[in-house]
Each structure stands twice: as C-alpha cells, then as structure tokens.
Chains A and B, each alone.
Chain A
Amino acid sequence: MLSLLTDHSLLMALAALLSLGAIFGGLLGFAAVRFKVEGNPISEQINALLPQTQCGQCGYPGCRPYSEAIAEGDAINKCPPGGEETIQALADLLDVEPQPLDAEHGVEKEPVVAWIREDECIGCTKCIQACPVDAILGAAKVMHTVIADECTGCDLCLDPCPVDCIDLIPRKQGIGFWHWPLPGDGAARFDIIASDNATRDAA
C-alpha cells in the first residue's frame, strides 16, 4: 500500500484531480456569490392563480402566504375554493403532476356570496371586522348589507354574527350564468325533457 502511494503515477493522479477539483471548486464558489438570487419571484405567479377567497382553508392566513408556501415546495392541492381548476393551473405553472384536492382542507363547493337578512341584523359591525375584503357596508347600530360583487364567500363573517342573520347563497344562478355543458363521449346526444305540459293543456 505504502509503496503504491509513492508510485509516481498515483501521485500524478492525485495532482491532476486536485488541480481540477481546486479550479472547479473555485469557479463554483465564485459563481455562488456572483450569481446569488434573493426572493422568489415565482410566488407572485402562484398567487395570481389562487382564487383569492382569502378563506384560510389552506391552513395559511390568506392566499399570498399559501402562494409563498407553495413556492417553498408545499403541496398544490390545499385550496378548496380554487378546486381542480386551480390545481391544474398550478401544476401547469410548476410542471408537476396535478394531485386531487386534499380533502382534509375541505371540498370544492359551488361559489357562494353572503346574504344578510337585513330585518334581523342588529348592526353589531362584528362581520365588518371579520371580512377580509371589506365587502360589508354599514355602521354601528345600522343594518348592514353585503356588496355581492365584492364578497368572496369565504364565510368568515358567519361565526362572528351574534344573531346568525348571515346566509351563504349560490352566486351563479339563473339563465345569465348558464352555458352548454361538454357532451359526454359516445353517449346519446340528447336528453329527453319530461313530457311537457303544453300538450297536457292542449289535450
């Protein structure tokens, strides 16, 4: 073994690799400092994809914190309001496999808005303080109303209300929101509407 160590070819090898190692190590060390990056611009793009319901179901106080968590490598399937669509979008952005929504954070529901039964409202302003997007109007002792267009349906205002006068009602209702569904594969292309009363009347 010792004799081997003194063998010149071995020393050569040592020298060669040492120099290589030293040179490249130096190069990288230099690059590490020279090309340092601060912050994580990706979280902005992630936040742009989150629904901004600000409901905190993801376990973070609002969407931005969650976006930063994702940028740090948290799972992308924790946002129930966003649902599959958001997960898909995130997966595309980050080029990872989309997972199904993580049920422990809640399930995807149809979009809702808060609706205050105004005759019951006692004007306690509690909900106003709770609302993350200032979607509730009103002052102390006067009855409050929800600006439907601003409300994200995060339901944070329900618990604070002492008289439970706030309901969540579906946001998308009526013909204005209807559009054709995607046809099913190979299925019969029409559905039969239950026999209609026109003929009953006529008959």
Chain B
Amino acid sequence: MSNTTLRQLTVNGLWKNNPALVQLLGLCPLLAVTASTVNALGLAAATLFVLVVSNTAVSLIRTVVSDTIRLPVFVMIIAAAVTATELLMQAYSYELYQILGIFLPLITTNCIILGRADAFARKNPLPAACYDGFIMGVGFGGVLVLLGMIRELLGTGAIFADMHLLFGPSAQHWRWEIFSVEYPFLVAILPPGAFLVTGCLIALKNSVDSSLERRLRAH
C-alpha cells in the first residue's frame, strides 16, 4: 500500500469524507448515545473494533461470494463481529452494556460498516481495507466523542463523568467540572440537542473548509 493512498485514506476518513459529518452515515448511534462522553467513548470503541474486523474479513473473502448473496454474507460477518463484541462487553463492563442498550447490537446496522464493506473492502486488498476500516472508525468515533463531550458539557457543566464504567474504579474521579451552574442547559442532553449540536458541528466543518478554500485561492 503506497503511502499516497495511505494519506488519501487518512484524509478521507478523518476529514474530507468523514463518515459522520460528510457521509451522514451511522447517525443513529451518533445522536443516540452521545448524551455523555463515556457512552460515546464506549460505542466508539465497539464500532471501531467491528469496523476493522468486518473490513478485514470482507476483503479476505471478496473473491468467493457471488452478487446475489453478497449482502447477506457481509451482514452475517458484521453481525458475528458485533455479537462477539456484545458478549465481551456484557462480560467485562456490564453497566455500560446496559446503558448503551440496543445501540450495541445496532452497530450491526450502522450504515458505515456495511457501506465500507460494500463500497471499499469488497474491491480492495487486505491492508488497504484494514486500514480504511481503522481510519473510518477513528473518524466516526472521534466525532462521536466530540459530540459527547460538547453535549455533556452544555447539559451538565462537566465532562468525563462516570468514566469508571469504562476504565474501572480508578476513573471514578475523572469527572471534570468546567463550570457549575444550578440550572444547566438541559436541551443539550435531550434528543433535540443531539440534532442541533450535530448540525452546528457540520456547519462548523463547512465554514472551516470554505475558509481553507479561500486561503488556497489566495495563494
């Protein structure tokens, strides 16, 4: 894998073609579990894992499957990966598993994963597919966590609460109170807040892009 393609993949996954902000895929978890950083982090990790596994597997078997049954096969692979993750999480961080609720199994239907499998891994050799899965996962997870932090901050005035769910008792006191108000801006952690904050993030990205563009044209 030449490192031009490497760079391309990276730029694509992290910024130019970011699954969450540009392709608008995997929106459901993006909006549903980002009420707090820890949830976001948990789901981000799970998604990343599944994405890498599925991309790898798909690109391995890409020559074997015929078109009629390609969807079912891919989906089965993904589902297997997800179930495994689900079981592991259940075993080793049960509370988080309970909080994430059905959004853990729902990773299966996260459009990004099937999207990458069908659009990229199916047509590319192992390393590329693997790396693409990783970087896409990071791109997605990054946005997920960012959203989680923003919403948690606006909605509670603090971030990194309850980190012990993910990192064990040592993380109990990671909670970082940034401002303390008696009445936080609740809407941020309620459903509408998810849409609104995401919308603003996208707008932010657009304006950054356009200003970069302008800078480029200036030179």
Contacts and interface: CB of A to CB of B under 8 A. Distances in A.
Check A-B contact in the complex, CB < 8 A: yes
Interface of A: 21, 24-25, 28-29, 32
B179 to A, nearest CB: 42
Interface string B63-90: 0000011001000100000000000000
Contacts of B76: 21
A29 B69 CA distance: 8
A24 B75 CA distance: 13
A125 B57 CA distance: 64
B67 to A, nearest CB: 9
Nearest to B68: A32
Contacts of A21: 76
B72 A24 contact: yes
Given A28-B69, A29-B69, 8 more contacts: A21-B76, A24-B72, A25-B69, A25-B72, A28-B68, A28-B72, A29-B68, A32-B68
10 contacts: A21-B76, A24-B72, A25-B69, A25-B72, A28-B68, A28-B69, A28-B72, A29-B68, A29-B69, A32-B68
Nearest to A29: B68
B206 to A, nearest CB: 15
Nearest to A28: B68
Contacts of A24: 72
A32 B69 CA distance: 10
A142 B159 CA distance: 89
B198 to A, nearest CB: 20
A32 B66 CA distance: 11
A143 to B, nearest CB: 53
Contacts of A32: 68
A25 B69 CA distance: 7
A28 B68 CA distance: 7
Contacts of B69: 25, 28-29
Nearest to A32: B68
A151 to B, nearest CB: 41
Contacts of A29: 68-69
A130 B72 CA distance: 53
Contacts of B68: 28-29, 32
A32 B76 CA distance: 20
The 3 closest A-B pairs by CB, nearest first: A32-B68, A28-B68, A28-B69
Contacts of B72: 24-25, 28
Nearest to B80: A17
